Amino acid sequence: MCAKIKVIVNDLKKTQGEKITFTNVLVGSGKSAEEIKKAKLKGHGLVANAADGKLVQTIDGHAYGKKEVEAVVAKLLQK
């Protein structure tokens, strides 16, 4: 996760961390390549899964910021 998005996610952990599990995953570590492929991302981005593991939303690349990440969190909270 790029530094810009990591800061946004870490801030959201402070306010929403009791409701949602946030995980920062570096591309190339663990099962990241598998998750990227499953999410149909070109190389990296944001992958939001529900508690049951079902894919809720993806955002490709760096074309997003705080507003978009907050919208994804709101969507997850509705699940």
Could you tell me whether strands 45-49 and 55-60 are parallel, antiparallel, or unpaired per DSSP bridges? Answer: antiparallel
Count of the separate structural domains present in the chain? 1
**Residues of the domain holding 22:** 3-78
pTM for the predicted model, two decimal places: 0.79
* Per-residue pLDDT tens listing for the chain (79 residues): 577 788 888 899 999 999 999 888 878 888 888 888 888 888 888 899 998 989 999 988 877 889 999 999 999 998 7
Alpha helices in 1-79 (DSSP H): 3-16, 32-38, 66-78
